[in-house]
Amino acid sequence: MAKKRKIDNTPSEIIYSEPTLQPITETIEKNYMPYVMSVIISRAIPEIDGFKPSHRKLLYTMYSMGLLHGDRTKSANIVGQTMKLNPHGDASIYETLVRLTRDNATLLHPFVDSKGNFGKQYSTEMQYAAARYTECRLEKFSAELFTGIDKNAVDMVDNYDGTMKEPSLLPTTFPNVIVSPNMGIAVGMASNICSFNLAEVCDGTIALLKNPRTKTEKIMELIKAPDFSGGGQIIYNEEQMREVFETGQGSVTIRSVYKYDKANHCIDILQIPYSTTIEQIIKRLTELVKEGKMKEITDFRDEIDISGFKLTIDLARSADPEKVMAKLFKSTPLEDSFKCNFNILVNGTPRQMGIVEILSEWIAFRMGCVRRELTFDLEKKQAKLHLLMGLGKLLLDIDKAIRIIRQTEKEEDVIPNLMDGFSIDKIQAEYIAEIKLRNLNREYILNRIKEIESLQEEIANLEEILGDEIKVKNYIIDQLKEIKKKYGKPRLTEIVHADSIEEYVPEEQVENYNVKLIMSKEGYFKKITLLSLRGNDEQKFKEGDSLAFDIDTDNISELVFFTNKCQVYRASVNDFDCTKASALGDFIPAKLSMDSDEKPIFVKVQNDYPEDKNFIFVFENGKGVRVPVSAYATKGNRKKLINAYSDASPIVGVFYEDEPLELLLVSDDKKALVIKSSLLPVKTTRNAQGVTIFSLKKKSKLIGAKLLNEDEFPSKGFKKLKIPATGVALPTGVKIHF
């Protein structure tokens, strides 16, 4: 209850009255909703031309000031003039201007040619100079924003106090809405639009103009991925990218670009993700070093200078730069994600759209602009033609026109008399009456009416375009092709496919001890400690299976498995559990997730990849080749390598050559030969087919290859000094086991 005190000549009296109650829904509807709509429509969310009102008002002010072709002017002057359209204070206007400049490096295609210190997008501490110290003008590229604006291409509306006109949208001749990045937070919704490459966007838009039913897959081939002004590398995941293209929501992962300086043993970070800053990265690096989680780093510093961005990280002497970077990508904003949320205003309504839908809406908007612009030109030409047609009638009798004017007593009767005398309308008569006396001659009038024919052709051409939607689209296509030619740039952000990126896995301390490795012909693998082998070295195998490889090594060694499908799998000995000789062991195809029907045919301990050692491959078609071990070295810890050897013929044998070997080859027609491995050529390409070793008859093939053991197979009479060579028939009863 509220109370009021009544004051008069009578004794004091307290009067109670009921308060006026208002439902909360009514309060929200009347007081809060107008504010919400104002923030969404008039401030935070960009429209189909790619601009928020603050951007649009600023750029139009600069255009009106003649800064598209004139000299630079002080930024303070631009800010002051913009306040006639945008009364939100000079500070916010100048911040908007800064973001649009070339020097700030926020946009792939800046709209403002700047001079002075405008800070940098990748730093929060590099503050821009005050508006009185910097100068600006519009970039030539900005002309594409205003094409047709003086020809009624868009609606012109009153400014906030009704003293000026401003465009409701800018008639951009390209889909700026996805070329310029934009972010805004409204009430209950937000927008975060990443930039795409202008040339790619033009290609994608042209494809949609030619075929409105173009599918997302085709657009993704043309507009490959976002392209950021800061460069970096996009870790391309097709499913994630498809979600962004189809729904307008999703995440794009970006990582820094670096270079290893071998001379100084340091890493130079040259580009960072658009979504982070150097201060955030340095802060995180400081935390990691203090916590002792990055002992590989001895120092780091900001080395940004006039040549561009550079963050230098000094490494400890024993540090591996690739492993350090893999760890940093996992632990710092050197790898970051851009959260896409393509909320855009279309006809005053916020809509979340994918790329194809955005481009379709832009095409509809642009076609409206072009129609209005062409209609404006058409009306101008028609009006001019109308005047010239009246002038043509004057040519028939110039003396009559002079006589009518001379004989007319009152000025207001001149126009009606000309109209009656030449059967022309008031507009034509006004035009004739305004011609100077010196121009009332046959030559002047003939020269003017010569334009009639060309005007009629131009009018017919414009009417033809306006009457045909396909021709309007072709008109836009021609503009887009010209824009791509004039302003298109190569991508700044490199695309790296996710399957080529090695994930950082924290290294665990692995206990080392000596082991014996056993692999059977069927692909069963056992790791046995030497202790468990004492007194029990009899190996158990499945029925029909037998020993293929027997290796002595230690628990921290690395293994390579060559398979019958031309692939190599890497594994660490530590990946396998210790077992006993009486167990079957791990089934390698399952353990290493091999493909269907794939099995190992060769295993080797491979801790390094020297250039002077080779793998030898012998094929069923009688060919063979040596490939340097170094050809199998890869960056990072890749677990699988395809195209390990030629798939032209099935493999018969794989060998490791650290010294010259003697190989025994046997064909299915019971012939054999022995050669030295040095006869085989060395090919640096892994899947090289090699040369013919064993000359085979038609339909014959090699059935086996193994290292020569003189105790098992005396080689006398089978050794060949040159290749290709013909096999020698095996003696009756001789059997060779592979």
Q: How many residues does the chain have?
A: 738
Question: Angle at which helices 355-395 and 426-433 pack, to 10 degrees?
Answer: 70
CA–CA distance, 139 with 254 (Å, rounded to integer)? 29
Question: Angle at which helices 451-466 and 355-395 pack, to 10 degrees?
Answer: 150
Question: How many beta carbons lie within 10 A of that of residue 196, not counting itself?
Answer: 25
The DSSP code sequence of 624-655 is EEEEEGGGG--SS--SEES--S--SS-EEEEE
Q: Which amino acid is at 628?
A: P
Q: Which of 16, 94, 128, 133 is catalytic?
A: 133
Instruction: Give the alpha-carbon dihedral of 127, 131, 133, 138, to 10 degrees.
Output: 100
Q: Which amino acid is at 721?
A: L
Check: CB of residue 118 under 8 Å from CB of residue 134.
Answer: yes
Closest CA to 33 of 187, 137, 182: 187
- Close Cβ partners of 176 (under 8 Å, ≥ 6 residues apart): 49, 50, 51, 145
The DSSP code sequence of 271-290 is E--TT--HHHHHHHHHHHHH
CA–CA distance, 310 with 229 (Å, rounded to integer)? 15
Please give the backbone phi and psi of residue 722, each rounded to the nearest 5 degrees, phi first: -135, 155
Please give the backbone phi and psi of residue 236, each rounded to the nearest 5 degrees, phi first: -80, 115
Closest CA to 191 of 330, 51, 83, 32: 51
* Partner residues linked to 191 by β-bridges: 184
Q: Is 122 a catalytic residue?
A: no
Question: Angle at which helices 321-331 and 278-290 pack, to 10 degrees?
Answer: 110
- Close Cβ partners of 510 (under 8 Å, ≥ 6 residues apart): 555, 556, 572, 574
Interior angle at CA 315, CA 310 and CA 321, nearest 5: 80
CA–CA distance, 401 with 419 (Å, rounded to integer)? 10
Q: Which two tokens stand for residue 4?
A: 């009021």
Asked whether the CA dihedral 36, 37, 41, 46 is positive or negative, the reply is: positive
Report residue 297 CA to chain centroid gap.
Answer: 31
Check: CB of residue 30 under 8 Å from CB of residue 68.
Answer: no
Q: Which amino acid is at 83?
A: M
Q: Burial letters for 569-595: b for 16+ Cβ neighbours within 10 Å, e otherwise?
A: bbbebbebeebebeebbbebbebbebe
CA–CA distance, 435 with 610 (Å, rounded to integer)? 94
CA–CA distance, 622 with 703 (Å, rounded to integer)? 10
- Cis peptide leading into residue 724 (ω within 30°): yes
Asked whether the CA dihedral 287, 291, 293, 297 is positive or negative, the reply is: positive
CA–CA distance, 649 with 646 (Å, rounded to integer)? 7
Check: CB of residue 177 under 8 Å from CB of residue 46.
Answer: yes
Check: CB of residue 395 under 8 Å from CB of residue 480.
Answer: no
Strand 662-667 and strand 702-707: the pairing is antiparallel
Strand 671-676 and strand 662-667: the pairing is antiparallel
Strand 335-341 and strand 249-255: the pairing is antiparallel
The DSSP code sequence of 390-414 is HHHHHHT-HHHHHHHHHH--SGGGH
Which residues are annotated as catalytic? 133
